[in-house]
Amino acid sequence: MSCDVAAEPIPGLTPAHGRSAAGFGAAQGISVGALTKAYGAQVILDRIDLDIAPGELLALLGPSGSGKTTLLRLLAGLDSASGGAIRLGGEDAAGLSVQERRVGFVFQSYALFRHMTVFDNIAYGLAVRPRRLRPSKAAIAARVSELLDMMQLPGFEKRFPSQLSGGQRQRVALARALAIAPRVLLLDEPFGALDAKVRKDLRKWLRDIHDRTGLTTVFVTHDQAEAMEVADRVAILNGGRIEQIGAPGEIRERPATAFVRAFLD
């Protein structure tokens, strides 16, 4: 897979469709304060503080069960917190629905709709909008086509998911997440099910897409090489707390805790 496509912003929906922003507007930061999630007496996330800069690509790295998916689901609005606050672009997210938060997400297990073509999968988030917010058919088709070009899958509109490789499917899933012009992009082990070679290609390619869209991105992984290669900063989670956050080189050179040192070994 080549990543040599010119770095040009893709044009988005026009203001005539009720949106002011083009495809990807000004990046928005994420600010999390004392965020807590508990199930009964079990504390899953323990007063997490985390600031993600606009346009940053942050990796959440940690062992299985450390709370990565829980944190991502809270950011997306798929679950509600037991305490603390989330601000998206400076706005308190507490009262916002999943749709209102305008987050794009891709999960490892978040399968494409099997009975729908690639076109319909990518168009889904736009096609289900209420009429007054829905772009015209032509605008949706243009958007899908732009995204397929960006994903280096031109001409794939009529295929079904069963006619795609695993890597191609995850690229379609990413196109679907981007179609709604999200404010932030959340990725939960999106390459987890793929083989090593494809994962490596997709890593570079994800970084390229991130740089071209400028979207604030949170990327969950349990694979330290993946986190270190792709991210601007890495947050290491353990037992619902952030053990350390910093640039990859910084964490490698100066692990802050015994856990981090052992985890990176």
Ligand X SMILES: Nc1ncnc2c1ncn2[C@@H]1O[C@H](COP(=O)(O)OP(=O)(O)O)[C@@H](O)[C@H]1O
Instruction: Give me the residues that bind ligand X (CB under 6 A), please.
Output: 39, 44, 62, 64-70
Is the distance from CB of 183 to CB of 103 less than 8 angstroms?
A: yes
The DSSP secondary structure of 99-166, one letter per residue, reads HHHTEEEEETT----TTS-HHHHHHHHHHTS-GGGPPPHHHHHHHHHHHHHHTT-TT-TT--GGGS-H
- For 7, the token pair is 């770095």
- Told to check if 70 binds Mg ion by CB under 5 A, we report no
Whichever of 7 and 41 has its CB closer to ligand X, that residue is 41
Q: By the 8 A CB rule, do 95 and 88 touch?
A: no
Q: Which is nearer to Mg ion, 25 or 192 (CB)?
A: 192
Of these, 44, 58, 59, 69, which contacts Mg ion (CB under 5 A)? 69
Give whichever of 37 and 143 is closer to Mg ion, judged by the CB atom.
37
Closest CB 69 distance from ligand X, rounded Å: 3
Binders of Mg ion in range 29-68 (CB under 5 A): 68
The residue among 139, 143, 135 whose CA lies nearest residue 18 is 135
Supply the minimum distance, in Å, between the C-beta of residue 65 and ligand X.
4
Report the residue number, 46 or 208, with the smaller CB distance to ligand X.
46
Q: What one-character DSSP code corresponds to residue 9?
A: P
Q: Which does 65 bind (CB under 5 to 8 A by kind): Mg ion, ligand X, none?
A: ligand X
d(CA 55, CA 111): 27
State the binding partner of 62 from Mg ion, ligand X, none, CB within 5 to 8 A by kind: ligand X
